[in-house]
């Protein structure tokens, strides 16, 4: 009897360790969501997809006014044109992706076991360009960003479902790297992402209110009124890193892709609502 119980326990061990590999991120996510919900008890979970406008009433009114006719619609239109465009050999960008248009955005970022790294939507689009023997687009190019705007628009209302598979240790490692990045202080101002967007969330930095990290990835790319253009999530990362006076990493660098992976996982269960409009 004792023996078989021990055997049973032993046989459970691999299962338990395997579960632990995914339980980590899931525990992190639950704690993350709980934290923001307790900080803002009047804000419904789904509202966090709206970023700062979930918690700032006056700014929300102005945002809704912009959303009456948001300038990113030009980018969505341009993105759709590029997406549909037949290339010299008759192929289309869409041919690289198996899913229907609305399912493409939610499939990224994902961990590619074969490559051993996180693949984001922007990277996947450029990979496609390469298989079609076309020059890749720079990651800050209007073309690439407008395509992501179109795919974000097509995915509106779909849930964020970032996956970390238990049988891919690399996925968990990438997630952990993103998490470490998020919580590490950097730069001359000695700030971690979390210092502003967790600990001090909702407070003012000069005239800006700090947005909650829960939902940070759902609405990109965003039209920035200040710039008059649509920018990518990685351009925003770059801006934040620069704001704390650290040298930014390259767009789509491993550091930023891992950070995107971590932040996307934290936003699981929210709805995609990009492209967004921000001041």
Partner 1 sequence: MDVGRRLLLKAGVAFAALAALPRTLLAAAWPEKAFAATEAGAAMSTLFGTNQATPSAEIKLKVPEIAENGAVVPVTISTTLENVESISIVVEHNPRPLAASFEIPAGTLPNVSSRIKMGETSDVIAVVKTDTGIYSTSKQVKVTIGGCGG
Partner 2 sequence: MAPVRASKRGMALAVLAAVFAAAGCTTAFEQQLAEAELLRVEAAAAGAEWLQTGALLEQARDEAAGGDMDAARALVDKARFQGEAALRQAEHEASAWQNRVVQ
Partner 3 sequence: MASKIKVKAKLSGDLAEIKSLMLHPMETGSRKDPDTGELVPTHHITQLTFTNNEKTVMVANFSTAVSKNPYFSFSFSGAKAGDTLKVSWIDNKGATDELETVLK
Task: Give me the active site residues, please.
Answer: 240
Binding mask 2-41 for partner 2 (x = CB under 8 A): --------------------------x--xx--x------
Binding mask 152-191 for partner 1 (x = CB under 8 A): -x--xx----------------------------------
Which residues partner with 205 through β-bridges? 208
Q: Which residue, 144, 119, 107, is CA-closest to 231?
A: 144
CA 268 – CA 253 distance, rounded (Å):
23
164 to 203, contacts with partner 2 by CB under 8 A? 177, 179-181, 183-188, 190, 192, 194-195, 198-199
What are the CB-based long-range contacts (under 8 Å, 24+) for 112-116? 113/168, 113/170, 113/171, 116/170
Write down the least CB distance from residue 141 to partner 3, Å: 15
* Tokens representing residue 145 in the block: 């960003």
Q: Which residue, 147, 143, 148, 137, is CA-closest to 220?
A: 148
* Tokens representing residue 238 in the block: 């770059």
31 to 90, contacts with partner 3 by CB under 8 A? 66, 68-69, 71, 73-74, 77-78, 81
Q: Which residue, 270, 48, 38, is CA-closest to 161?
A: 270
User: Alpha-carbon Rg of the chain, whole angstroms?
Assistant: 20
51 binds, among partner 1, partner 2, partner 3, none (CB under 5 to 8 A by kind): partner 1
Q: Which residue, 68, 70, 38, 42, is CA-closest to 55?
A: 42
183 binds, among partner 2, partner 3, partner 1, none (CB under 5 to 8 A by kind): partner 2
186 binds, among partner 1, partner 3, partner 2, none (CB under 5 to 8 A by kind): partner 2
Number of amino acids touching partner 2 (CB under 8 A): 27
57 binds, among partner 1, partner 2, partner 3, none (CB under 5 to 8 A by kind): none
CA 94 – CA 104 distance, rounded (Å):
10
Alpha helices in 40-141 (DSSP H): 57-67, 72-84, 101-104, 121-131
Nearer of residues 48 and 63 to partner 3, judged by Cβ: 63
Can you give the binding site for partner 2, defined by CB under 8 A? 28, 31-32, 35, 177, 179-181, 183-188, 190, 192, 194-195, 198-199, 242, 245-249, 255
Residue numbers at the binding site for partner 3 (CB under 8 A): 66, 68-69, 71, 73-74, 77-78, 81, 225, 228
């Amino acid at each position: 009897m004792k023996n078989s119980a021990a055997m049973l326990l032993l046989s459970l061990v691999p299962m338990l360790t395997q579960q632990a590999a995914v339980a980590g991120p899931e525990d992190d996510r639950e704690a993350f969501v709980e934290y923001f919900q307790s900080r803002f008890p009047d804000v419904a979970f789904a509202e966090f997809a709206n970023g700062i406008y979930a918690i700032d009433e006056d700014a929300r009114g102005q945002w809704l006014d912009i959303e009456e006719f948001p300038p990113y619609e030009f980018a969505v239109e341009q993105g759709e044109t590029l997406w549909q465009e037949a290339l010299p050999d008759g192929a289309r960008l869409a041919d690289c992706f198996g899913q229907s248009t609305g399912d493409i955005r939610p499939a990224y970022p994902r961990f590619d076991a074969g490559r051993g790294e996180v693949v984001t939507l922007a990277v996947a689009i450029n990979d496609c360009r390469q298989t079609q023997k076309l020059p890749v687009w720079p990651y800050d190019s209007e073309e690439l960003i407008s395509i992501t705007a179109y795919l974000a628009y097509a995915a509106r209302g779909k849930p964020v479902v970032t996956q970390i598979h238990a049988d891919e240790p690399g996925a968990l490692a990438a997630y952990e790297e993103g998490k470490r990045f998020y919580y590490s202080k950097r730069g001359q101002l000695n700030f971690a992402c979390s210092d502003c967007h967790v600990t001090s969330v909702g407070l003012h930095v000069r005239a800006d209110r700090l947005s909650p990290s829960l939902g940070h990835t759902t609405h990109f790319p965003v039209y920035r009124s200040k710039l008059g253009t649509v920018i990518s999530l990685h351009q925003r990362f770059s801006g934040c890193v620069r704001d704390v006076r650290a040298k930014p990493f390259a767009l789509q660098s491993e550091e930023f892709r891992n950070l995107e992976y971590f932040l996307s996982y934290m936003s699981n269960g929210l709805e995609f609502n990009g492209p967004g409009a921000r001041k």
